[in-house]
Amino acid sequence: MRAGSSRRRADDVDLLAARLKSQLIGGPPARSVEGVVNRLLAVQAQDARGARLAVRSRSSGLWATDIDRSLSVTRSLVVTWLNRGTLHLVAGKDYWWLHPLTTPQLAAGNERRLRQEGVSPVQAEQGVTVITDAVTSDGPQTRAQLRARLEEAGVPTAGQALVHLLVAASVRGPLVRGPQVGRDHAYVSAPTWLGAQPAPLDRDEALATLARRYLAGHGPAGPLDLAKWAGITVGAARSAFGAIAEQLVPMGDGVKLIDGPREQPSLPPPRLLGAFDPLLHGWVSRDLVTGAHREVVTTNGIFRPVVLVDGRVVATWTLARGTVRINSLEPIPTNALDALVTDAADVLRFLSLPPTPVVIR
């Protein structure tokens, strides 16, 4: 192997190890749900179990019910449409500045989808008012309860209309998902649920905060990575990085925070990551993690649960009928398999499921 090729491989390993440490997959784990969410800033959450497993793989000693408690009791976390127009788990204190920074660009697409679902602009406006009034006056409302109110008001809810009305109410106003009500994740008014809105950040300050917080959980990275992750323009992402330029040092093709870890991180032990894990969403390219196994992200946008060995994808896995099944994409060393069996047992513990043998194919 040529020296240049060997050097590039070593650089890739260093970059991967640094990103995994930023993501809390490498290095000391978080001790609280909030610790994970604060580090990552926003955790992909359109798959409820996937969001919970993202917390598990970055923490120690927690349970899935700890996330429910943060949503329903302490009210420290909420779920809402942010960034790329998908649901994210975010700290309540960060919702207030992240929402106005990352959602205005979602409005045009949302309006178009409502029209496609047969909801006129007048009906959409009425629907947003119905939803907002319901959660403000009557507290947490399930999707079924909001559907009934909208239909009573003559607002279409068939097909995907209800979903896009909920998106509209979230983008335009104070709607977020707060507590678990039975098996449903109920909607609430953000100021009613979280308390009064703090003084807003001006755009420059919000962009600087975004860059700093993004790099804390995703560095090293560059402006193009931030633009893709947050769903903002490349120009805005470059302005964000420029605002904190004195706090940055180069690494690879990107930068990292100057006050970040100084020791060279090592690759983490083998790990099971859930569906839509943040590790597959944080940068323009995910090749550093997936390698040749790009099919773990399907053409219709499904991010499968994956297995990492030496920080790279080597398998997918499923959890059905209480059994973890690992589907190898390449040969897995025996010592790594032993570690994966241990991690699979922790998945079952975290989800309060009884222990069962792991199936490896």
pLDDT digits (tens, 9 = 90+) for 240-260: 999 999 999 999 889 999 986
Give the amino acid at 192. T
Q: Are strands 248-251 and 254-257 parallel, antiparallel or unpaired?
A: antiparallel
pLDDT one-digit tens code per residue, 133-163: 999 999 999 999 999 999 999 999 999 999 9
CA distance linking residue 185 with residue 180, whole number of Å: 5
Identify whether the C-beta of residue 315 lies closer than 8 Å to the C-beta of residue 328. yes
**CA 17 to the chain's CA centroid:** 20
Helix%, strand%, coil% for the chain, nearest 5: 50, 20, 30
Give the amino acid at 336. A
Which CATH number among 3.90.650.10, 1.10.10.350, 1.10.10.10, 1.20.200.10 corresponds to the domain 103-199? 1.10.10.10
Ranges of CATH 1.10.10.10 domains, the chain: 103-199
User: What pLDDT does 6 receive?
Assistant: 57
User: What pLDDT does 10 receive?
Assistant: 73
pLDDT band at 7 (very low <50, low <70, confident <90, very high): low
Helix (H, G, I), strand (E, B) or coil at 46: coil
CA distance linking residue 28 with residue 181, whole number of Å: 34
CA distance linking residue 164 with residue 154, whole number of Å: 16
Q: Are strands 323-328 and 359-360 parallel, antiparallel or unpaired?
A: parallel
Tokens of 171: 């983008």
User: What pLDDT does 340 receive?
Assistant: 97
User: What pLDDT does 252 receive?
Assistant: 86
Q: Which of 176-180, 181-185, 324-328 has the highest mean pLDDT?
A: 324-328
pLDDT, the chain, mean:
94
From residue 5, how far is each of 2, 18, 98, 230 by CA, in Å? 5, 20, 41, 33
Q: What is the DSSP string of 301-354?
A: S-B--EEEETTEEEEEEEEETTEEEEEESS---HHHHHHHHHHHHHHHHHTT--
pLDDT band at 1 (very low <50, low <70, confident <90, very high): very low
Note the pTM of the prediction, 2 decimals: 0.94
User: What pLDDT does 174 receive?
Assistant: 87
Give the amino acid at 229. W
250 secondary structure, DSSP code: E
**If we measure between CA atoms, which residue out of 125, 161, 166, 168 comes closest to residue 146?**
166
CA distance linking residue 135 with residue 344, whole number of Å: 39
User: What pLDDT does 71 receive?
Assistant: 96
pLDDT one-digit tens code per residue, 77-124: 999 999 999 999 999 999 999 999 999 999 999 999 999 999 999 999
pLDDT one-digit tens code per residue, 184-204: 999 999 999 999 999 999 999
User: What pLDDT does 173 receive?
Assistant: 78
Burial of 233-267, coded b for 16+ CB within 10 Å and e otherwise, reads eeebbbbbbebbeebbeebbebbbbeebeeeebeb
From residue 338, how far is each of 57, 239, 319, 341, 342 by CA, in Å? 17, 46, 18, 5, 7
CA distance linking residue 256 with residue 267, whole number of Å: 18
30 secondary structure, DSSP code: B
User: What pLDDT does 260 receive?
Assistant: 61
Average pLDDT of span 286-295 = 96
Tokens of 48: 């409820």
Average pLDDT of span 275-285 = 97
Residue 34: count other Cβ atoms within 10 Å of its Cβ. Answer: 18
202 secondary structure, DSSP code: P
Q: Which residue has the higher pLDDT, 72 or 3?
A: 72
Average pLDDT of span 18-43 = 97
Average pLDDT of span 318-346 = 97
Share of the chain above pLDDT 70, in %: 97
Q: How many CA atoms lie within 13 A of 288 on its CB side?
A: 26
Identify whether the C-beta of residue 59 lies closer than 8 Å to the C-beta of residue 24. yes
CA distance linking residue 131 with residue 122, whole number of Å: 14
